Chain A
Amino acid sequence: MNDPYRQDPALLRGMTQRRLGRRDAFRLAGLSAAGLALAACGVQGKGTARPSSSAQAQSEVEKFWSGKTKNGHVDFANWPLYMDPKQPELKQFTQQTGITVNYKEVILEMPSWFAKIQPQLAAGQSIDYDLMVVTNGLHFQRLVQLGYLAPLDHSKLPNFAANAAPEYKQESFDPGNVYSIPWASGITGIAYNPKYVDTPPTSMADLWNPKYKGKVGMMSDSQEIANFGLFAIGVDPDKSTEADWEKAAAKLQEQRDAGIVRKYYDQAYTDPLAKGDIWLTMAWSGDVFQKNVSDGTDLKFVVPQEGGTIWTDNMTIPKTATNPVDAIMLMDFFYDVNVAAHLAEYINYVTPVPAAKDVIAADAAKATGDDKKLLEEVASSPLVFPSEQDSARLRNYVNGKTPEEQKKFESIFQAITTS
């Protein structure tokens, strides 16, 4: 019976029941904590400059790659319709190197992909992918500006050095291929379903034709629709100014308000086009070809007379990748002439390896029947090997020079697709 609590119940009361009401204390603590918490929830961002000298670039490369070794696995994030679903190239790669590849078609649109990975990259965490294919444009610039991409060690890219076309070694968006080497280029033009569209579209005006009310698909990516809006008002995107952007946006808004646009799509426009929910749509050149091959559809693709958009999708390694050595080996593997040729045969996008043309032609000579026809088509396709005449009509994405300009650009065009 020497229990002190029993002897003095007041002590227990004193210990457990505060004079200052518990609720008051909680309230006070809660309020101040809420205030602190509100201020502490800022979102990080950070700007790092592109290496200014080659010596600096070299030391960045060494810093990143030293101590990195081959792990036998690579996680690869790519866009849909960018490889034969049976993935013969990856199987060949695994056979040659013993490196297994986890290939995921998770990128449908640049803005949403960037928004998805940005928080992890800002926190310095792995995004679970070692290799990702990023389109040149605002978000590529942003990845570079924010220092999220690993500098490439070109001593590990012998095939690229030997086989890449010269123009792909001096891209304006990444001179010297510090952070990226191309996967493929492509053209944004107009795709249509001849079952519903009698007169083949030839110009941007067809996308504004009230005849196709509710049957036109446009893209939701602001850089994509911006170029089409600019072509439609007769302005060269390369030379466009902020005033032009406003005018192009007004033109696009007019198309939307007239009920001509059925929907703004990411890459999901091919199915509705094949089903007839939309009759003509903005489209990427190779998608239409692949859809025709895989589903037996008869969709057509044209580059409008005003022009089309040319873009390049690039293989990049995020700085937080866990298997960068395996990733860079895979990057170089796609610059093997035969691999590049087989890839181009299937995806029908512009290959950065010019020597692939001969391989495709040789394959066509060997093949028979339908395959032969298909391969001959690929080898002579202006979409895989654009002629100079076509190239003259193609333009790049509009890239605002300063972050303020970029922000302005995005807000002008996002207003159309998001409202």
Chain B
Amino acid sequence: MSRLRAALTPYLLLFPGTLWLAIFFVVPTVVMLSLSLQSGDVVNGYAFTFNWHSYVDGISTYHDQIVRSLVYGLVSTVIQIVIGFPVAYWIAFKGGTRKSIYLFLLLLPFLVSFVLRTISWQFFLSDNGLLLGPLKSLGLVPQDFHILATSAAVIGGLAYNFLPFMILPMYVALERIDPRVLEAAQDLYASKAQTFLRVVLPLSLPGVFAGVLMTFVPATSDYVNASVLGGTSNTMIGNVIQNQFLVNQDYPTASALSFTLMALLLVGIFAYAKALGTEDVLEVAAR
């Protein structure tokens, strides 16, 4: 009996997780895959017909938005690394005893809802709003200058909204670096720049990788920033998918676009992981 129990134990332990994955990942994925291959309309219903056209049509109609989303996602991720790395570095090495306070301050704005924060940016950046109103009345910027409804507004919004998810993993990676390693570098006559480039930076890469995973993917598929801060020529693929699902009820096209996006993101991530040295990075990122 006890041996049977021992044999079953791992399965029982895995059961809740498996069930969770089955209900919230496998089932929706299968449903979406099925939807993407269906044809019909809302009034008459959709039926499964291996309708590959939804992929062909979806991609040919919306390739602009797909490319734009990848570009926006990439640019915002790079901005986040540029802004986030120094912050993470500073908190990890110069934060001293106040580290947790700084981290708390970093997270504080994110206790407010994501959409609400984006809308307050819309309010702040409005054509005659708090920022541009005074600048325009002082004549510092031309009257028809605007920030909203431009790529810059959307990319800025993305970079702002996902920043903590970039900083936290980088902070964790930097914080883990053993001070003795740095001392060793010094003992071996490495200059500060050398220590940073040859010791700190390589050791922090897994954190950067984890950060990119956590920001590039949601930023690319985001639709809130583009719909609140963007205009007619800043539509991202997330907006298209949302629109096809929740306005036009064109489920096949929406699902096909979702799968296309998923495939592109997976390819991108694995290519990136390969470039950084897969096993190493995935393993450390998972810590």
Binding site for B on A (CB under 8 A): 3, 5, 12, 16, 34, 37-47, 109, 111-112, 114-116, 118, 142, 145-146, 213-214, 220, 256, 259, 261-264, 272, 275-277, 403, 407, 410, 414, 418-419
Is there contact, CB below 8 Å, between A146 and B43?
yes
Q: Among residues 13 to 72 in chain B, which have CB atoms less than 8 Å away from a CB atom of chain A?
A: 30-31, 33-35, 37-38, 40-48, 61-62, 64-65
- Closest-by-CB residue of A relative to B240 is A418
- With a CB–CB cut-off of 8 A, which chain A residues contact B128? 275-277
Contact between B43 and A419 (Cβ–Cβ < 8 Å)? no
Question: Closest CB-CB distance, A257 to chain B, in whole Å?
Answer: 9
B-chain residues with CB within 8 Å of residue A16 when the two chains form the complex:
4, 7
| Number of B interface residues in the complex (CB < 8 A) | 46
| Closest residue of A by beta carbon distance from B64 | A419
> Are A419 and B34 CB-contacts (below 8 A) given A42-B46, A277-B126?
no
Of the candidate stretches B141-149, B178-186, B278-286, the one touching chain A is B141-149
Q: Which of B44, B48, B65, B129 contacts A419 (CB 8 A)?
A: B65
Give the contacting residue for B45; candidates A5, A43, A407; CB below 8 A.
Answer: A43
CB neighbors of A among B207-258 (8 A)? 231-233, 235, 239-240, 243-249, 251
Q: Contact: B31 with A262, CB < 8 Å?
A: no
Whether A43 contacts B35 by the Cβ 8 Å rule is: yes
**A41 with B246: CB separation less than 8 A:** no
B43 touches A142 (CB 8 A): yes
Contacts A418-B240, A418-B243; A262 near B231 (Cβ below 8 A): yes
**Which residues of chain A are within 8 angstroms of B251 by Cβ–Cβ distance?**
43
Question: Please, how many angstroms separate the alpha-carbon atoms of A39 and B46 in the complex?
Answer: 11
CA gap between A16 and B40 in the complex, in Å: 46
Check if B45 sits within 8 Å of A45, measured CB to CB: yes
A109 / chain B contacts, CB cutoff of 8 Å: 247
Would B45 and A42 count as touching, CB distance under 8 A? yes
**CB distance B248 to A414 under 8 Å?**
yes
Q: Is B3 an interface residue (CB 8 A)?
A: yes
Give A44 to B45 CA distance when docked, in angstroms: 5
* Residue contact A112 to B246, C-beta cutoff 8 Å: yes
Which A residues touch B35, using CB under 8 A? 41, 43
Look across to chain A and name the residue whose beta carbon is closest to the beta carbon of B148.
A277
B172 CB to nearest A CB, Å: 36
Chain B residues in 8 Å Cβ range of A12: 3-4
Contact of A5 among B1, B40, B146, B148 (CB under 8 A): B1
Instruction: List the A residue with the shortest CB-CB distance to B227.
Output: A263
Q: Are B40 and A45 in contact (CB under 8 A)?
A: yes
Q: In the complex the two chains form, is B30's CB within 8 Å of A34's CB?
A: yes
Give every chain B residue within 8 A of A47 (Cβ-Cβ).
43-44
Residues in A whose Cβ lies below 8 Å from that of B175: none
Q: How far is the CA of A106 from the CA of B158 in the complex (A)?
A: 27
Q: How far is the CA of A419 from the CA of B239 in the complex (A)?
A: 9
Add 12 more A-B contacts to A3-B1, A41-B30, A259-B232 (CB < 8 A): A38-B30, A39-B48, A41-B31, A42-B47, A42-B48, A142-B42, A262-B232, A272-B126, A403-B44, A418-B239, A419-B61, A419-B64
Q: Is the CB of A256 within 8 A of B232?
A: yes
Chain A hits for B43, CB < 8 A? 45, 47, 142, 145-146, 403
- Please name all residues of chain A whose beta carbon is closer than 8 Å to the beta carbon of B243 when the two chains form the complex: 418
Across-interface contacts of A272 in B (CB, < 8 A) = 126
Residues of A close to B233: CB separation below 8 A: 259
List 5 A-B pairs, Cβ < 8 Å. A34-B30, A41-B30, A262-B231, A277-B146, A403-B43
- Contacts A43-B40, A256-B232, A418-B248 hold; do A37 and B30 have CB atoms under 8 A apart? yes
Evaluate contact between B235 and A38: CB separation under 8 angstroms. Answer: no
Q: Say yes or no: A111-B247 contact (C-beta < 8 A), given A12-B3, A37-B30, A214-B144.
A: yes
Judging by beta carbons under 8 Å apart, are B249 and A38 in contact?
Answer: no
Find the A residue at minimum CB distance from B7.
Answer: A16
> With A38-B34, A42-B38, A262-B231 as given contacts, are A277 and B127 in contact (CB-CB < 8 Å)?
yes
Q: How far is the CA of A46 from the CA of B47 in the complex (A)?
A: 13
Chain A min CB distance to B40 (Å): 7
Docked Cα-Cα span, A220 to B246, in Å, equals 13
Which residues on the B side are within 8 Å of A3 (C-beta)? 1
Cβ-closest chain A residue relative to B143: A196
